C-alpha cells in the first residue's frame, strides 16, 4: 500500500517525475508508474494501488483535464475523501472538482522553491498523519504505534468508558442518598415517643361467653306453658268467641 498515488496524464510524465522524487525524499512511498506489467490489467495493478493508497494527488494540466483515466482516478480519491489536487498549468479543473482548493505548483522545479509547494507538503503531511522520515527513500512506511490512540475505534472506546464511569458514579451517589434518607426516617420514628398499643381482639358475631355461663342451661325458645290444675287438666281460660260458640258439626 502506497502513501501517495499520483494521477496524471502520460504527456506530463517528465513534469511529474520531480514531484514524485520530492515526495519520496520526504519518506513517503509513491505510486506513479503508468506502465502495466505483462499479465496485469489496469484494474488489477493500477486500480488496486489506487484503492489502497492513503492519499491521491491529482495533477491538473492542459492534458489531464481531458483524460478520462485521470478523471476516474480523481473521482475515486474524492469519494474516499483523500484527494489533494495540484495545478501544473493555469487551467480550470473539470466540473465536480472545482470546489476543492488546489495547490498552485505552476513553474515549480526542484531548483526553484515556491512557498505554495511548502504549504502543499504541510497539507499532505496532515492528511497522511505520518511524519516524514528523511532517508527512507521509496520504502513502504506504516503509521507508528503511538498513532493508534488517534483511531476512531479507540476514541469511541474512551468515550464509552467515560460514560460508563459517570453512570456508575451516579448510581453510587443515589444509593448513598437512599441509605441516608432511611436512617433519618428510622431515627425520627424512634424519638417520637409513640408506642403502639395492643388492639382489642375482634371476634365475628357476639362475644364469647364467660366461663361461669358455660354451665347454665340454655334458655328455652318456646313461650312458657300455662300451669296445670290439680287434676292435671288445663286451667287456661276457655276461648271466648264473639256472638256465641260456633255450631256443632252435623252427624249426617
Which residue ranges make up each domain of the chain? 4-142
pLDDT of residue 208: 54
**251 CB-contact burial (10 Å; exposed 0-12 / middle 13-18 / buried 19+):** exposed
| Of 67, 72, 36, the residue nearest 51 (C-alpha) | 72
Q: Is the pLDDT of residue 207 over 90?
A: no
pLDDT of residue 16: 95
Sheet containing 55-60: order of strands: 30-31, 4-7, 55-60, 83-87, 103-104
| Of 66, 60, 65, 64, the residue nearest 105 (C-alpha) | 60
Helix, strand, or coil (residue 187): helix
pTM (predicted TM-score): 0.51
- Mean of pLDDT values over 89-112: 93
pLDDT of residue 20: 95
The pLDDT tens digits for 14-59 are: 999 999 999 999 999 999 877 777 877 767 778 889 999 999 999 9
pLDDT of residue 136: 40
CB contact at 8 A, 6 and 31: yes
Q: Could you give the CA distance from residue 45 to residue 95 in angstroms, rounded to a whole number?
A: 27
CB contact at 8 A, 244 and 235: no
Class of domain 4-142: alpha beta
**Which residue in this structure is represented by grid cell 503531511?**
125
Q: How confident is the model at residue 68 (pLDDT cuts 50, 70, 90)?
A: very high
Amino acid at each position: 500500500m502506497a502513501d501517495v498515488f499520483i494521477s496524471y496524464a502520460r504527456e506530463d510524465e517528465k513534469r511529474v517525475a520531480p514531484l514524485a522524487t520530492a515526495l519520496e525524499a520526504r519518506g513517503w512511498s509513491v505510486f506513479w508508474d503508468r506502465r502495466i506489467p505483462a499479465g496485469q490489467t489496469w484494474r488489477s495493478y493500477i486500480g488496486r494501488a489506487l484503492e489502497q493508497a492513503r492519499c491521491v494527488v491529482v495533477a491538473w494540466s492542459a492534458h489531464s483535464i481531458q483524460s478520462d483515466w485521470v478523471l476516474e482516478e480523481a473521482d475515486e480519491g474524492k469519494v474516499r475523501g483523500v484527494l489533494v489536487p495540484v495545478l501544473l498549468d493555469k487551467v480550470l479543473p473539470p466540473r465536480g472538482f472545482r470546489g476543492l482548493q488546489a495547490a498552485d505548483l505552476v513553474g515549480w522545479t526542484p531548483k526553484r522553491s515556491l512557498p505554495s509547494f511548502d504549504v502543499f507538503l504541510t497539507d499532505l503531511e496532515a492528511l497522511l498523519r505520518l511524519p516524514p522520515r528523511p532517508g527512507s527513500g521509496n520504502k513502504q512506511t506504516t503509521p507508528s504505534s503511538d498513532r493508534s490512540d488517534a483511531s476512531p475505534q479507540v476514541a469511541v472506546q474512551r468515550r464509552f468508558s467515560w460514560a460508563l464511569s459517570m453512570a456508575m458514579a451516579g448510581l453510587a451517589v443515589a444509593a448513598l442518598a437512599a441509605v441516608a434518607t432511611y436512617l433519618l426516617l428510622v431515627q425520627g420514628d424512634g424519638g417520637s415517643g409513640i408506642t403502639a398499643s395492643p388492639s382489642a381482639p375482634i371476634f365475628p358475631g357476639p362475644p364469647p361467653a364467660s366461663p361461669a355461663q358455660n354451665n347454665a342451661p340454655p334458655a328455652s325458645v318456646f313461650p312458657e306453658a300455662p300451669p296445670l290444675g290439680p287434676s292435671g287438666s288445663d286451667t287456661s281460660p276457655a276461648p271466648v268467641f264473639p256472638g256465641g260458640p260456633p255450631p256443632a258439626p252435623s252427624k249426617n
